[in-house]
Amino acid sequence: MEQVIAVLDERLANPGDTLPVVGHLDEPSYSLGDHDFTLPQGIDYDLMLTNAGEGILATGMLRARVEGVCDRCLEPASFDVAGEVDEYYLFEEPDEAAYVDDEDEEMDFSLVGDDNTVDLTDALFSALLMETPYVVLCREDCKGLCPVCGANLNEEDCGHAAQIEAEREQARLEASPFAALKDLKLDE
């Protein structure tokens, strides 16, 4: 991923100072798990840097149009991502005692770079991943592919689903203890 580095200047010199960071990334694609996604319009971000005394707080939103493949029918699927960015960059590495709240729970933070910059790349990328669904669907009620013939059930009804249902019904009837009675002929 392209690096997003913000330079901290005098506008952020004092606690309470804020600096908007708005930008666009021409990132073409990314992947999550087994999924590959393309970003036809890249990534837009709209952040606010705030001098919070001990460090710089980066908050705001990331937006992207994402294109992938539907997990059920394998047709193209696209969705919009709006991810929340929330990252804290400390000016100095804190004493261990200061940031360990709990014995095993460490506070999540990054550090301001030696050259007085904050690297927003990871914060943006995690916001994108966080809002990317694990199951990608072309639409919520996608019917998927027929397990028998592979037909796209959103486009056609090949009839296999009804056939499978009928066979199941038949099997259920045959398994019933009353099934034998059906063929029983009473002697006259």
Residues lying near Zn ion in the complex (CB under 5 A): 70, 72-73, 138, 142, 146, 148-149, 151, 158, 160
Please say whether the beta carbons of 47 and 41 come within 8 A.
no
**Minimum CB–partner distance for residue 128 and Zn ion (Å):** 22
In angstroms, the Cα distances linking 119 to 64, 116, 129, 156 are 20, 10, 17, 50
User: Of the two residues 122 and 155, which places its CB atom closer to Zn ion in the complex?
Assistant: 155
Quick one: 169 exposed, middle or buried, by C-beta within 10 A (0-12, 13-18, 19+)? exposed
Q: Which is nearer to Zn ion, 52 or 146 (CB)?
A: 146
Q: Which is nearer to Zn ion, 123 or 138 (CB)?
A: 138
Nearer of residues 8 and 73 to Zn ion, judged by Cβ: 73
State the minimum distance, in angstroms, from the CB of residue 71 to Zn ion. 7
State the minimum distance, in angstroms, from the CB of residue 135 to Zn ion.
Answer: 11
Query: Considering the complex, what minimum distance in angstroms separates the CB of residue 31 from Zn ion?
Result: 19
| Least Cβ distance, residue 28 to Zn ion (angstroms) | 23
State the minimum distance, in angstroms, from the CB of residue 39 to Zn ion. Answer: 20
For residues 101 and 140, which CB has a smaller minimum distance to Zn ion in the complex?
140
Decide whether 72 or 118 has the Cβ nearer to Zn ion: 72
